[in-house]
Amino acid sequence: MINVPAIRMHQFGVGFYQASLSARDVDKLVRFEVLSYGETHHPPVRGRRPVQYYEQCREARNLPSIPGAVIISSDEPLRFDPVSEGDSLGTLKVPEREGVLRAIDGQHRLLALHADIERFGIEQVDFTVPAVIFDRLPEDHVVQMFVTINAKHTRLNSSHLVSLSGRQLYADPNLAAAHDIVRALHEREDSPLFGQIKLLGVGTGKVAQAPLAQELKAVLQAEALGGVRRLEHFREDATRFYVNYFKQISTLFLTAWNGRKYSIRTAPALRAFIRVTPDVVRRLDQEHADRADFRAIGRVIAPWGRRIGDARFETDGGWKQGGTSIDLLARQLRLALEYPEGVGL
């Protein structure tokens, strides 16, 4: 264990520590993440490029280069020993393992420090770094915090949660699969949603990426998809399923899908269609059909054409008259599957 002077703090039930890390502590304990939105995945690495401001501070010696706290999360349990019982001042004991601390905010500053250590040697860097340290912050909270902190000066938005999580800052197979599905729906030329989703908050698309991805994640966690093995099998082929699923929806509601006075391609409507996919999958399983088979999907959702119809999505008609709720539309879609001949809707 490494002993670090610290103050124990609480905010809204969340505990964390304000601590002072030495340059040696940072060099040994902190790891950094390389983030990208492509298919290539990079392991955490240490940077080597110094930051210009840091170098100016070293040379001038009239300003501190890291005066503000960096934000860090520990991957392993921490122990806090107060100077006296109930005191907020004390010693934070950090496991002495390389890379046990993950930098959430302040990576560039710490990378500059690391570059300085490599250049001049650890003995020549008499340096302490203020840090806010979380004890095993949940991984989805790591992503949320990263995006919140960087939302202004790097123009990140909530859609980046989809791309940074699942594949980058932590492993979430369901959100990773949701990310792949949304990208396929937007980028594949045979998709009826080709070019219509605003990925990472930019582009000409009119539907935001984040709400669709979160809806997909919830569906991929649903027990209705049938156990761990069947869920994993579905996740592997989920992209093909959803492309074929929306192709059939666009055919079934042809007038609404291609009309300008309809709201079928809005986020609430698309989320409702996604929300009922466990029910569609259950019907496909009852028919012993391939879950991603284009024709089988069409047979299962055919009652929607008779029971729901294009008029349901008229912006100034059925949609405007109290029909914009995701839950309401999802309930109507489920009932149409359960009672294809008209009972109960």
Domain ranges of the chain: 2-137, 160-338
Would you state the pLDDT for residue 220?
Answer: 86
Whether 30 and 101 have beta carbons less than 8 Å apart is answered as: yes
Q: What is the pLDDT of residue 123?
A: 74
The predicted pLDDT at position 161 comes to 52
CA atoms within 13 A on the CB side of 289: 18
**Which structure tokens are listed for 218?**
């919830």
Comparing CA positions, the residue from 61, 219, 210, 224 lying closest to residue 147 is 210
- The C-alpha atoms of residue 329 and residue 314 are separated, in whole angstroms, by 13
3-state SS assignment for residue 15: strand
Cite the DSSP H helix spans in the chain. 23-29, 52-60, 107-120, 139-150, 160-164, 173-187, 209-220, 227-236, 238-252, 254-258, 267-275, 277-286, 294-301, 303-307, 326-338
The pair of three-digit structure tokens given for residue 46, joined into one six-digit string: 């240490």
User: DSSP secondary-structure letter at 199?
Assistant: G
For 46-104, what is the HEC assignment? CCCCCCHHHHHHHHHCCCCCCCCCEEEEECCCCEEEECCCCCCEEEEEECCCCCCEEEE
**Residue ranges for the chain with pLDDT beneath 70:** 32-50, 139-140, 143-144, 147-171, 200-203, 223-232, 342-345
- What does pTM read for this prediction? 0.59
Give the model's pLDDT for residue 224: 56
Q: Taking the mean position of all CA atoms in its chain, how far away is CA 127? A: 35
Q: Considering only CA atoms, which of 211, 192, 215, 210 is closest in space to residue 264?
A: 192
Task: Work out the angle at residue 95's Cα, subtended by the Cα atoms of residues 90 and 66, and round it to the nearest 5 degrees.
Answer: 65
pLDDT reported for residue 46 = 40
The number of angstroms, rounded, from the C-alpha of 222 to the middle of its chain's C-alpha atoms is 18
Phi, psi (degrees; rounded to nearest 5) at 196: -110, 0
The answer to whether 166 touches 178, Cβ cutoff 8 Å, is yes
Say what the pLDDT of residue 38 is.
Answer: 46
**CA end-to-end distance (rounded Å), the chain:** 64
pLDDT at 156: 55
